[in-house]
A and B are shown apart, each in its own frame.
Chain A
């Protein structure tokens, strides 16, 4: 009874995802192996994978995702801990601050970053004034600048699930550990981190997926000398009109990000943790 009801209510969305999400991806897969005259061919993949430069771009894209994930984790987890230790007012502030980047237009955020990391921007100026650099410099068109911008843009994807977990968590649990003599670091490792792990893993998946495919930020901040997969896809579709090739490239991007995410999910299962927070 319970289960039938459940199945009935869940089926429209399941059907929608199968029909309108997974089926088109199937069509895409078919398109990528269809030759110009019809018929099955792996040429598109062969051309791409035989091209050392193109494979390099794929690798760079995955590395960009991993670097962003690392930076987001380094900054996001301490923020989540700050949230955990804060009172209600500070908690609201952190929540609003976390939601804001998610809710301001990508275009404007990206422009703000051009300002921040540009030659005349605050970072360059600070370095010059502190004597850390002898002349103004620009982080535009550098991977460092790109990762910095992506980190700000993707942080909410990690911090929000963490906040969700922590605001529901029982503070007394950790206090109990402290009474038992565990110091801050130990209680972090033994009590807080295990609680946060599922959310961190879920966040990683979202951050990685988003960072590897954020075309606007990649192309504006990264410029033409840093090439990532989405730029390839847009170009094949929008400039060269090579749809099957675009489909093949998309699929390779999909598969390789899929592998990374599968890795994370398996890690999650392995630790007997649900894959999502």
Chain B
């Protein structure tokens, strides 16, 4: 939809430029929905693979790019009429959305592919479409392979060579939770991390405001190790940069990605069709290939070569799933304390 409009806009020339934004923002035709996807590779993949598959089922999907946290923000600011019909988020945001009453439970009997899902992907609020596995990304040309989080803070080879970010990022939050455990913290107790930060502040190479800022530092050669998902590593490699993924010895934190139906979605039937397409073997098989390489949740889809390069089914089975309810409860407090621990 968006793409066709673009072409039309170009063909129509200057007049089209002005007129394009005046076209109805939201197509009201039967079976059309607005679905959120993370900007960048997710958006590309969903636009090129998911949207056509959904179209076969008669659903016209407009992919709206937004980070998980921004989706929650827009939902909370929208005063009753949800800006999206379907959301794409991780458990941290799911808990928030549920608490605010912004998403509805689904009726699994409406999804033909539901029974094909692996058990952990079946949740009352919607199916998981993939699982992201986290660990450490490193540059094999400049630093040794890190054995785990703890080594970063103790092996001089990594002094000044790794970058971290704060609790605004899911990847970092999960890593900090692991680090807290390694340094003797109970679940929900982040104090060991803040003590470590205060003690080792000059040991850390870069402290960025987001995972993206840290990855920019990596690309420019300012740092050589960072907290990452396998997807981050695959992306950097596809751009021709040297980058390897290391599973921490203490276990790799994993985080599922789910599709939810918003409360008051304009067209629930179409949302179900879209969800069904997202968990279909056809879609997941394509999404498991490069460049996306998403780990499938449909049991009929095998791990592809690109996935196996980073994660084996055994490693996935041993992955650590953090407790997001606890994290959400403390997130504000941890964010504030992180600022204080790292501020100059």
**Cβ contact within 8 Å between B207 and A237:** no
A 206-241 binary contact with B (CB < 8 Å = 1; else 0):
000000000000011001111100010001011111
Residues of A within 8 A of B210 (CB): 219
Complex-state Cα separation, A56 to B343, whole angstroms: 10
In the complex, whether A152 has a CB less than 8 A from a CB of chain B is no
Residues of B within 8 A of A53 (CB): 339-340, 343
Residues of A within 8 A of B220 (CB): 114-115, 118-120
Residues of A within 8 A of B76 (CB): 241
**Cβ contact within 8 Å between B339 and A141:** no
In the complex, whether B331 has a CB less than 8 A from a CB of chain A is yes
In the complex, whether B325 has a CB less than 8 A from a CB of chain A is no
Minimum Cβ distance to chain B for residue A156 (Å): 26
**Cβ contact within 8 Å between B342 and A239:** no
B-facing residues in A93-120 (Cβ within 8 Å)? 114-115, 118-120
- State the interface size on chain A (CB cutoff 8 A): 25
B 70-81 binary contact with A (CB < 8 Å = 1; else 0):
101100100000
In the complex, whether B208 has a CB less than 8 A from a CB of chain A is yes
In the complex, whether B221 has a CB less than 8 A from a CB of chain A is yes
Complex-state Cα separation, A238 to B165, whole angstroms: 16
Minimum Cβ distance to chain A for residue B93 (Å): 11
User: Which residue on chain A has the smallest CB distance to residue B96?
Assistant: A241
Which residues of A are at the interface with B, using a C-beta cutoff of 8 A? 53, 56, 114-115, 118-120, 138, 140-141, 219-220, 223-227, 231, 235, 237-242
**Cβ contact within 8 Å between A227 and B343:** yes
Which residues of B are at the interface with A, using a C-beta cutoff of 8 A? 69-70, 72-73, 76, 96, 165-166, 168, 206-210, 213, 216-217, 220-222, 331-332, 335, 338-340, 342-344
User: Which residue on chain A has the smallest CB distance to residue B342?
Assistant: A225
Minimum Cβ distance to chain B for residue A195 (Å): 41
Complex-state Cα separation, A33 to B168, whole angstroms: 26
Residues of B within 8 A of A241 (CB): 72-73, 76, 96
Complex-state Cα separation, A242 to B332, whole angstroms: 10
User: Which residue on chain A has the smallest CB distance to residue B221?
Assistant: A120
Dominant secondary structure at the A interface: loop
A-B interface pairs (CB < 8 A), number: 66
Q: Say which residue of B73, B209, B340 sits within 8 Å of A237 (CB atoms).
A: B73
- Given A238-B70, A240-B332, A231-B221 contact (CB < 8 Å): no
Minimum Cβ distance to chain B for residue A121 (Å): 9
Dominant secondary structure at the B interface: helix
**Cβ contact within 8 Å between B344 and A225:** yes
- Given A120-B221, A224-B208, A240-B335, A114-B216 contact (CB < 8 Å): yes
Residues of A within 8 A of B221 (CB): 119-120
Residues of B within 8 A of A227 (CB): 339, 343
Complex-state Cα separation, A224 to B208, whole angstroms: 5
**Cβ contact within 8 Å between A219 and B69:** no
**Cβ contact within 8 Å between A219 and B70:** no
**Cβ contact within 8 Å between B335 and A239:** yes
**Cβ contact within 8 Å between B206 and A141:** yes
**Cβ contact within 8 Å between A225 and B343:** yes
Residues of A within 8 A of B168 (CB): 235, 239
Minimum Cβ distance to chain B for residue A106 (Å): 15
Minimum Cβ distance to chain B for residue A240 (Å): 5
Residues of A within 8 A of B208 (CB): 223-224
Complex-state Cα separation, A237 to B332, whole angstroms: 12
Complex-state Cα separation, A118 to B70, whole angstroms: 30
Residues of B within 8 A of A119 (CB): 220-222
Interchain residue pairs with CB less than 8 A apart (15): A53-B343, A114-B220, A119-B220, A119-B221, A141-B207, A219-B213, A220-B216, A223-B206, A224-B165, A224-B342, A227-B343, A231-B209, A240-B331, A240-B335, A241-B76
Q: Say which residue of A140, A223, A238 sits within 8 Å of B69 (CB atoms).
A: A238
The 8 closest A-B pairs by CB, nearest first: A224-B207, A219-B209, A240-B332, A239-B168, A224-B209, A225-B344, A225-B342, A225-B207
Complex-state Cα separation, A220 to B343, whole angstroms: 15
Complex-state Cα separation, A242 to B76, whole angstroms: 11
From A56, A114, A242, residue with most partner B Cβ within 10 Å? A114
Residues of B within 8 A of A225 (CB): 207, 342-344
Complex-state Cα separation, A237 to B166, whole angstroms: 16
